[in-house]
Structure 1
């Protein structure tokens, strides 16, 4: 066994030229050696548990925000076997060579899924023991799908440690019941616990716990949000208790009392729950941009536990109740393509007849208007007039429909967030990705691009290089790097610059200005805050 002096200091050791081991608080991990296509060597540690499996009585329970293992206090309400504790230690060496199970979702997965993955490009040594900036990646998927499984690609050439995680999704991560130890937002609290794990352990992998940048959609120092915002209509609901009751009814539970319902749901099979969840939404809810009933929500008061969301996100952002850190956020030019169905389906006349016959589907639920009310009908007509004018909704006007979905589902929330953050921080950067008609999440594949870099002239390589340079420099310095002749200005209270990202970079102002101003006026005139909790 070869052990370098500096590696021992950081708990990292080379084994047989292929495996590396790291000693963390929980025990010894064995990871693998890999390399990028450019030849950079890096080390992977996969499937590391950061909390006890939330099984049985721990289903739906809030992870404690701390544990004695990490040197933090466990709230008294969580003492005992009522919530997942930080993961147990192990005595023998633990293999960290494969990703852990995905969290339960539409296409399978497991409830035993709270794992973290670490990718580090170097073993610290006495000659170079500087800690590296950390990218903490929170996967997307609208709180119902995907996982932390990723290939870091060329980002490993940039001198960063990358961490990805799984967190509970759908009903398992976001069911809430008043007066129980399932107050909601367990999936978000999983993310917080994973961040605390990073704070306690990442130095052992050569990462700097004082320089953590979140990438995704607290304990970090910079943030990058791609194609999403807490203000998107699919990302928040005032409360999920009603949906929990509907779920119980679908599973033939009719006794009153939240504690009894929680016990019943904790003992139901995942197969029964998974089958029932998609059919508890009403038709108006489904067509008005709430695709999943179990998402982040306002939490019920609990004297023993601070809520993750004490107020609606729109209120919290307007009041500056967020971490005021350097921030990059943006969206893509054709986000809506991912949500409108296939081109073939839009060629069918019935596709458009369904929309015309239920025009109020374009009124977002988070406006808080009652369907059929004068205000809701008025908003629907204003939307049709603005996006379609005197044109009919048809295949010939599909781009207007795509633009509407782009704005409602992503861009409006992002632009509202941009303005909120810029009111409290002078380091908020906005972008729009337009390459090849970029749809939802298209930039992600370039941030973690793993293809060949040999032909540096290809557009894909240009995109990968641009994102890798900008995102890695932002993680290191808080200032995204650019070509010398291009200036990416931060947003201010009175000026709204953004960077248009294509094969070239173009600084512009006032992203989709007319479309955003239309929606700002709608929310100013019609938003019903009392409906948001």
Structure 2
């Protein structure tokens, strides 16, 4: 078989031929640089356009992953600063088919701390004749340090994603992709970035549809709380107590890579919170610096300052289950710190009367003031789900649909053989955070457990994704029910399980409770 060659703006690329489990051939081009390596003087800086290369560049294997330490799995340091690469998988090259294909541009999750693009394999999408693009972007302190200076204005990781998308827009035609039909998709924090494109002028005109799962920019976990303070703490952990931002920049700029990432990760561990320390910010204005956010994106959304494209969004049954702390004997460890569940956006001082009053309402609603024990396991899980995921998913929907009609909602309920053991270990039904991913992206270590019902869910999901990418309306093969858009008058979702059904979303009472106590809390602060 002939080695696939494609020529893009920067030069020629040599890819490889792959085969799906069913035997369909497709083409992979991996490790494509979409920016200059952000090393040396470019550390923390906004990404720069890539330089051209001479000859034929080998694109048969992925590029470096971005520097990271996986705190959830307690892995050691891995990765590199030279990591701004993307991967393109296409079922047909231009020489084989004249019809341009829809493009799905996927941003991985991982709390802006971990993850990499080539983890997400394309085989299921190749079967559906869509192009899949996966991306690396800078993480943790390297991607989200902000010193409120022109050199380090913040949001480097978000700007990486935009530059990658721009590169795709400019070059995807070379891979038989339709540059005028690009769907940006993301899961968890990747969903935060993908949805944030709706409010960023930087991404204007680069995409045509949005799919976000288990996260969006309205999330209370999305925006940084004290970005300068966090930077000073890392500098101190590196042995330098500095206050001046110029000195702070020099310390962090010159720190050895592993020391920098390790200490930023230790700072993250010390918070004992699901929210990351280094996160997106609303940037200050500087001459010749293009910001990603010019105002709080929630304010943009609430005031109808966002781009109107078709949007597909969804959530899993128990998003919070993956983050439940479990003791060595397998029992749940309940967090009874009253500050833990209070939304950051309320700006309460720790242990203030407002915190205690808010927590009293939560205890009454979720536990009926009973002492926490294993009999309240599912109640506690509902609180985790709502406080860290569902409340803000439905706030996003509320603000969005006030001005926009083309919005569809789904709830992912399937607990199949390829899911994590999170829900099984809890003895509960449904899906947890990230359980949807093996049904969208092929994992060779997962398919050995596959059953007929798992195959059905893969086909449902990839039909929905690719048909939405093609037409802007989600649908699936053999569809015999109508899936209406979500609105204040039609608060419905598609329930995705072994059988698909449309229903009113079942967490409505819980979401109305959160809405009421937030309104009360905001009034009490006036």
Q: TM-score, normalised by structure 2?
A: 0.87
C-alpha separation between the residues in 1 aligned to 2:463 and 2:391? 27
Q: Match for residue 424 of structure 2?
A: none
Deviation, 1:453, is 9.4
Q: Deviations over 1:189-247 (max 9, x none)?
A: 00000011011100000001100001101221001001111122222124512211221
Aligned with residue 406 of structure 2, among 410, 424, 427? 427
Distance 1:270 1:345, change over 3 A: farther
Deviation, 1:256, is 3.7
Q: Deviations over 1:70-125 (max 9, x none)?
A: xxxxxxxxxxxxxxx21111111110011111101114111100001000101223
C-alpha separation between the residues in 1 aligned to 2:239 and 2:289? 31
- Segments of structure 1 that go 5 or more residues without pairing to the other structure are 1-16, 64-84
Q: Match for residue 209 of structure 1?
A: 179
Of the structure 1 ranges 457-466 and 51-60, higher mean CA displacement relative to structure 2 is found in 457-466
Q: Match for residue 119 of structure 1?
A: 89
Question: How many residues are paired up?
Answer: 485
The secondary structure found in structure 2 opposite 1:113 is coil
Does the Cα contact within 8 Å between 2:155 and 2:279 map onto a contact in 1?
yes
Aligned with residue 99 of structure 1, among 40, 62, 84? 62
CA RMSD for the aligned pairs? Answer: 2.4
Distance 1:449 1:487, change over 3 A: farther
Q: Match for residue 316 of structure 1?
A: 300
C-alpha separation between the residues in 1 aligned to 2:43 and 2:448? 48
Aligned with residue 136 of structure 2, among 147, 166, 174? 166
Q: Match for residue 245 of structure 1?
A: 232
C-alpha separation between the residues in 1 aligned to 2:64 and 2:359? 43
Distance 1:282 1:465, change over 3 A: closer
Q: Match for residue 68 of structure 1?
A: none
Q: Match for residue 436 of structure 2?
A: 443
Q: Deviations over 1:14-65 (max 9, x none)?
A: xxx14201011111100001111222211000000011111111111112xx
Aligned with residue 277 of structure 2, among 283, 288, 293? 293
Deviation, 1:418, is 1.5
Distance 1:456 1:489, change over 3 A: farther
Does the Cα contact within 8 Å between 1:227 and 1:332 map onto a contact in 2?
yes
Does the Cα contact within 8 Å between 1:153 and 1:450 map onto a contact in 2?
no
Aligned with residue 143 of structure 1, among 112, 131, 134? 112
Is 1:227 the counterpart of 2:214 in the alignment? yes
Q: Match for residue 390 of structure 1?
A: 369
Q: Please give the residue correspondences for 1:253-332 in structure 2 after superposition, counting only pairs within 5 Å.
A: 253-280=240-267, 285-287=271-273, 289-290=274-275, 292-332=276-316
C-alpha separation between the residues in 2 aligned to 1:39 and 1:282? 45
Distance 1:524 1:172, change over 3 A: same
Q: Match for residue 497 of structure 1?
A: 492
Q: TM-score, normalised by structure 1?
A: 0.86
Q: Match for residue 191 of structure 1?
A: 161
Of the structure 1 ranges 155-164 and 299-308, higher mean CA displacement relative to structure 2 is found in 299-308
Structure with higher Rg: it is: 1
Q: Deviations over 1:400-437 (max 9, x none)?
A: 11111111121111111112222222110011111122
Of the structure 1 ranges 272-281 and 306-315, higher mean CA displacement relative to structure 2 is found in 272-281
Distance 1:121 1:282, change over 3 A: closer
Does the Cα contact within 8 Å between 1:430 and 1:497 map onto a contact in 2?
yes
C-alpha separation between the residues in 2 aligned to 1:35 and 1:23? 22
C-alpha separation between the residues in 1 aligned to 2:88 and 2:347? 42
